[in-house]
Chains A and B, each alone.
Chain A
Amino acid sequence: MYVADSRAGTRAASAEGAARPRAGRRRAAVAPTVLALGTVSLITDVSSEMVTAVLPLYLVAGLGLSPLGFGLLDGVYNGFSALVRLVGGHLADRGGGRHKWVAGFGYALSAACKPLLLLAHSLTPIGLVLAADRTGKGLRTAPRDALISLSSTPATRGRAFGVHRAMDTAGALLGPLVAFLILRATVDGYDAVFTVSFCVAVVGVLVLVLFVPADTRAGTGPRSARPAEATRPTEFAEPAGSAGPARSTPAGAADRSRPAEEAPRSGSAAGSAPSPAGQNPADPAGSPASPTLRAALSLLGTPAVRRITLCALLLGLATVSDAFVFLLLQRRLGVPDRWFALLPLGTAAAFLLLAVPLGRLADRIGSRRLFLAGHGALLLVYALLLSAWHGSALPYLVLLLHGGFYAATDGVLMAAASESVPEELRSSGLALVQTGQALARFVCSLGFGAAWTAWGDRTALTVSAALLVFGVLVSVALRPTPPEGLA
């Protein structure tokens, strides 16, 4: 009954914030770009989770197939998605507002896959359509996170990512609900689910096209606007003089298909721009103008990037995948089968509730510190699962801590990484860290499965806990010399 889980990395990459535009009253409110992107993620996740939720039912009850053959392909898709993410990050860094258009293409590609599901009636075409859907997801993740990062100041980045992750998770929780309401209202209404999912996805793309500025770095606007970028109302206000938002989708799509063309111009523009105040001093401020693939890879030569990637890798290696955590919890408690599916919802709900407050906390105490604290929460999860304590509060506490772990690490890692990655390579840098983390978690899944087989679940978890302690200690030791906590 174990679920081979290699999705932890990809799933974690989506959630965002419940703050409303009127939060603008507050001085340090989240940038409108972040709210727009959060809205896009929320809408898109409603759309994609609608499909995910009914797909097995559709395969088994609707088409009479078994989803098992499809499930076996999942690992391939996930690995592919990690690579696509690096590509998306790289393309987006080529400047000229490409973050928006690369992300937009990713969203549009996924949206276009929904109606294709109506035409696919066997596993092969369905598998291909979903592979395309994942390609879209892989493409859009890094540019979107880069946009969030670039439209916030270092002092509000944690909150910005927290808001985005909370909104994203809200969408993920709503999607299945919408899908089942449609199924209830119809007879075998899978086609209606796919059609509505498509319509919802198109709305998400539209919100992105209409309300997310093309270049939050103000590469197309007056340079003087840059220091104020985080608080500047880039979003719903009219961006006077900015050519970016006025661009039509076709132009953007064309851009994407000619990735090399604009690079020198916009690249040099971005490259010559000074980092905003508060950037990590380790920034290679003089990094070359054109963000070539080599430049993206040379990011790993930067001590700060190397440090955070190493931390993400080490801690990722000790992050037991959700499936195992829920399985262990079920074994400890003897959770009845029919409740089993609710355990992930518990984690998601905790994530949703905690993402914003913990994001704000990250801004106060430093994202690295919170990232490590989040792994402390994960360590507590392991400890509770290993302990002899058997209180009725155990599942709630475990799920709360597990959701808290995600809330304290998922967006926060991106916020932390943003401090080390120069603006012009922001997308590639974030993609690099995410992919590293995803691969480490994948290796952890394989290793944990093997350890479970060889030594049993408790020993495997004990080893993971030890690894986690080691990872946290190393991460603490790797702390950059200048103290953080830019409050």
Chain B
Amino acid sequence: MTLRTRLLVLVSALVVLAGIGTASVLRASARADRRDHAVPGGPEITAGPVALGARGRMIFRNMAWGPHRDELTSVPASDPAGPRTASKVKCLRFHAAGGTGVCLQSVHGPVGDTYRAVLLDSRLRVTARYDVPGIPSRARVSPSGRYAAWTAFVGGDSYAGTDFSTRAAVVDTRTGRLIPSLEAFRVVKDGRTYHAADVNFWGVTFTADDRTFYATLATHGSTYLVRGDLRARTLTTVHPNVECPSLSPDGTRVAYKKRVKGLPKDAPWHLYVLDLRTLRETPVAEPRSVDDQAVWRDDHTLVYALPGDYGADLYTAPADGTGHPRRISTAAVSPAYVGRPPA
């Protein structure tokens, strides 16, 4: 092959490949329009007021295509598949309780996205903003609305490869005081102070006393449920192999994803419920691997997301291990039940 032939081959290939590349980018940008149009048969969505204090509502990130994609959306808790009211506030992850919401958003920059957490009042007005050091993953507000917490995945830039670490932050919404990383807390493991360079925390869930919380601690390839104390600034291990805990409204049980032996390494989790008094585990009747921090609709029912056609769908299952999982809503993620009567 002469140099000319080779150059010719290269240039022709470049033309074809550039065409393919350009077409894919154009197609993806044209999708903006397509995704702004609701898919026939999808949920009915209209813009309207969304309040965090409204009784008996479920608020979540709407993922259905249409003009309100990614917006916080409200439905009646009793009819989660019913008509949706969209708020214009866009979030990647969301949670709310006690009239306070936490919304983790991306901020588009010139060469990349950055992330922030915004605190919302009961009418979804922004009351505070905080930088989030990576891709947001979990969000929780304490039942009273006083504390908010979020987790971000740090890493994923070109020099961190596929290794991730997590950082969990807690903020006092009343004083604005931020604990940027739970790593500042003292870890007590098996009754002794534990130091390790490789500790990671994620998935905070609060009790009703505005002092205690639960979270995941990972170190040396194992995970633990830890009980945190915001005043003493300690984290005490409670139970092994617990990720993304979620405290029941009555504070007696924790729903969580557990890494189960024998499952594919990439989808290894099953939902379990742990009784905090007896430390007895009950498997939830959900055969699929759940990679989510479940929420409690009430003291007996769990709601969680599984991958779906438009990102994620919401499912429900009884917390006592009986029954069957049931899909309650499509194209939805990060649900929060608001306006709950005080426990």
Contact = CB atoms under 8 A, between A and B. Distances in A.
A186 B113 CA distance: 13
A348 B197 contact: no
B78 interface: no
Contacts of B136: 60
A112 to B, nearest CB: 14
A124 B264 contact: yes
Chain B at the A interface: SS class: mixed
B160 A344 contact: yes
Nearest to B136: A60
A2 B32 contact: no
A203 B111 CA distance: 24
Given A63-B311, A336-B131, A449 B156 contact: no
Contact of A7 (B35, B163, B167, B333): B163
B267 A69 contact: yes
B10 interface: yes
A58 to B, nearest CB: 10
A322 B159 contact: yes
A124 B266 contact: yes
A72 B221 contact: yes
Contacts of A6: 163
B111 A180 contact: yes
Contact of A199 (B18, B32, B35, B159): B18
A64 B167 CA distance: 18
A319 B98 CA distance: 50
Nearest to B36: A187
Contacts of B35: 187-188
Contacts of A236: 3
Which of B13, B92, B112, B265 has the largest count of A CB atoms less than 10 A from its CB? B112
Interface string A421-451: 0000000000000000000000000001100
B157 interface: yes
B29 A344 contact: no
Nearest to B183: A1
A206 B25 contact: no
B133 A338 contact: yes
B162 A55 contact: yes
B85 interface: no
B133 A340 contact: yes
A380 interface: no
A339 to B, nearest CB: 9
A71 B162 contact: yes
Interface string B129-166: 00101111100000000000000011111111111111
B301 interface: no
B135 A61 contact: yes
Contacts of B167: 1, 337
Contacts of A83: none
Given A56-B155, A63-B311, A323 B28 contact: no
Contact of A203 (B17, B24, B137, B197): B17
Interface in B297-319: 305, 307, 311-312
A185 B265 CA distance: 35
A246 B17 contact: no
Contacts of A184: 108, 110
B288 to A, nearest CB: 10
A123 B180 CA distance: 29
A106 interface: no
Interface stretch (A169-177, A222-230, A277-285, A472-480): A169-177
B1 to A, nearest CB: 5
A196 B153 contact: no
B330 interface: no
Nearest to A125: B266
B162 A70 contact: yes
B80 interface: no
B307 A192 contact: no
Contacts of B333: 64
Contacts of A7: 161, 163
A255 interface: no
A56 B135 CA distance: 8
Chain A at the B interface: SS class: helix
Given A57-B156, A64-B311, A449 B32 contact: no
Contacts of A176: 112, 157-158
B114 interface: yes
Interface in A97-128: 121-124, 126-127
A214 to B, nearest CB: 12
A3 B31 contact: no
A40 interface: no
A407 interface: no
A196 B25 contact: yes
Contacts of A189: 25, 28-29, 31
A186 B28 contact: yes
Which of B6, B136, B200 has the largest count of A CB atoms less than 10 A from its CB? B6
B14 interface: yes
A323 B197 CA distance: 11
A176 B161 CA distance: 12
Interface string A155-183: 00000000000000000110111001111
Contact of B112 (A180, A210, A336): A180
Nearest to B1: A246
Which of B92, B113, B161, B202 has the largest count of A CB atoms less than 10 A from its CB? B161
Contacts of B135: 56-57, 60-61, 67
A298 interface: no
Contact of B195 (A4, A66, A124, A453): A453
Contact of B198 (A191, A196, A449): A449
Interface string A121-144: 111101100100000000000000
B27 interface: yes
B153 A66 contact: yes
B268 interface: yes
A344 B158 contact: yes
A325 B205 CA distance: 32
Contact of A1 (B32, B108, B166): B166
B163 A3 contact: yes
B173 interface: no
A211 B156 contact: no
A180 to B, nearest CB: 4
Interface of B: 1-3, 6, 9-10, 13-14, 17-18, 20-21, 24-25, 27-29, 31-32, 35, 92, 106, 108, 110-114, 131, 133-137, 153-167, 180-181, 183, 195-200, 202, 221, 264-269, 291-292, 305, 307, 311-312, 333
5 closest residue pairs by CB, A with B: A337-B133, A344-B159, A56-B156, A186-B28, A189-B28
6 contacts: A61-B92, A69-B266, A176-B157, A202-B13, A206-B13, A449-B197
Given A7-B161, A210-B10, 8 more contacts: A53-B158, A65-B307, A67-B156, A72-B265, A74-B162, A184-B110, A187-B35, A323-B163
Interface of A: 1-7, 11, 49, 52-53, 55-57, 60-74, 77, 121-124, 126-127, 130, 172-173, 175-177, 180-189, 191-192, 195-196, 199-200, 202-203, 206-207, 210-211, 236-238, 245-246, 322-324, 327, 336-338, 340-341, 344-345, 347-348, 448-449, 452-454, 456-457
